[in-house]
Amino acid sequence: MKTNLIKAIYLTFGLSSLALTGCSDSWLKPEPLSFYEPSVTLSTKEGLEAALTTCHRQMRYYYMEDNGPALATEMIFSDVAVTAVSDFSGC
């Protein structure tokens, strides 16, 4: 019984001290993990080359990885290539 009363007093004291002190707004300001924004990154030659390298890598992955489905689809639906499948099921 006595330990429950002591715990209740500590809890009441802790909650009241938190309520009275409050919080400052300084810890709510976001701290960015990186500073990759166009005005900073693309202002130097190295930043521009890094951005272009990333774009090139993503385009190469999109067109060439996994047997190149995007490249094959674009070629089939243009005048560059013709599909060899003649018997589509369900058509």
pLDDT tens for the chain, 91 residues: list them: 667 777 777 777 766 766 666 667 777 787 777 667 778 778 889 989 988 999 999 888 877 776 566 767 777 777 777 777 666 665 5
Token pair 């080359």: residue: 49
Rounded CA-CA distance 53/61 in Å is: 12
pTM as predicted: 0.40
Q: What are the start-end ranges of the H helices in 1-91? A: 2-21, 38-41, 45-64, 69-76
- C-alpha closest to that of 62 among 74, 51, 52, 50: 74
Rounded CA-CA distance 48/41 in Å is: 7
